[in-house]
Amino acid sequence: MQEDEIKQIAGKNWHSSLPNQVDIRINKAALEYDHIIILGPTFPHEVAGFSGGAKYLFPGISGPDMINATHWLGALAGVVGTIGIKETPVRAMIHAAARRLKTPITLIALVVEGQGLNGLFIGDYLSAWSEAADLSAGRHIRWVEKPFQRILSCAPPMYDELWTGAKAMYKLEPAVAKGGEVVIYAPHLDTVSHVHGKYIYEVGYHILPYFLKDWDVFKNIPLGVLAHSTHLRGSGVMENGVEKPNVKVTLASKISAEDCARLNLGYLDPAKVDPEEWKDEEREGVLYVPKAGEILYRLKH
């Protein structure tokens, strides 16, 4: 995938920090089989808009170029401008890569809530995914009238790293007031990332403009790591060289106060958090989310 195509896909989100060439690699088994069957769920997603479909191929079983390019393009577009939106630059990049794969593909797209099945769509990877994303938009997005000032977002034990537990921020940021706070409550969590932790501790969590203003300093960090950093930290601006995130992100977990400071996150002792105190306070601008990570909260415009 060459620079002209990348620019066309990125549109207004194109930035010189994107690679000018992306190698479209895939596990060679996908080239050797007679037919590929993809089976998986569709949810609002912070990078692609909605998960599922050909995303299981690109970047699912593709190489690091595609992983980094898609995630950084998603970061340039921003979580609020991406998550829960069907047509996004990253989805366009995914489908552009998938068109190059000659092996026939059948998609079985699931839309689930908890243990229940809301919908099952079988067909080609474009139409079946499209129908699943439409249903997911109706099932997995909660529209709110007013933004919340504080949110206790409880990351379930299945998120055993902050790398995945960060969904407790992604899925809530669009419903948080400017200057508000998301508390990621994960008393079980003690790891930032087994694979990427070294880099994350090196750069910390920051808004996108923080990295772009000193790109030469950060350009050698994997783009997927930088994207994860901006996704968790959320949106914001730089003013006179000072980073000003729109939302305060506080971590209540086994990760120490010292490490949170190093990571540029707030710290709250999880032992001092009583979820009961957060319940039924929505009229006061406080939201309690007992199992974060699947349902997206967005503000009505």
Say what the pLDDT of residue 155 is. 98
pLDDT 10s digits, 260-276: 999 999 999 999 999 99
Q: Are residues 132 and 177 in the same domain?
A: no
Residues 146 and 135 in one domain: no
Residue 276: domain span: 142-301
Are residues 151 and 128 both part of a single domain? Answer: no
Same domain, 17 and 154: no
Q: How many domains does the chain have?
A: 2
Same domain, 111 and 131: yes
- Asked if residue 158 and residue 297 are part of one domain, the reply reads yes
Residues of the chain with pLDDT under 50: none
**Is the same domain home to 4 and 135?**
yes
**pLDDT (tens digit per residue) in 184-237:** 999 999 999 999 999 999 999 999 999 999 999 999 999 999 999 999 999 999
CATH classification at residue 179 = 3.90.226.30
What integer pLDDT is reported at residue 115 of this predicted model?
A: 87
Looking at the structure, do residues 254 and 288 belong to the same domain, yes or no? yes
Per-residue pLDDT at 301: 76
Q: From 88, 111, 139, give the residue that closes a domain.
A: 139
DSSP string of the chain, one letter each residue: -BHHHHHHHHGGG--TTS-SB----B-THHHHSS-EEEEEE--EETTTEE--GGGGTTTTTB-HHHHHHHHHHHHHH-STTTTT-SS-HHHHHHHHHHTT--S-EEEEEEEEETTEEEEEEEESTTHHHHHHHHHHHHHSEEEESS-EEEEEEE--TT--SHHHHTHHHHTTGGGEEEEEEEEEEETT---S-TTTHHHHHHH-S--HHHHHHTHHHHTTS-HHHHHHHHHHH--EEEETTEEEESSEEEEEESS-HHHHHHHT-EE--GGG--GGGGTT-GGGTEEEESS-SSSEEEE--
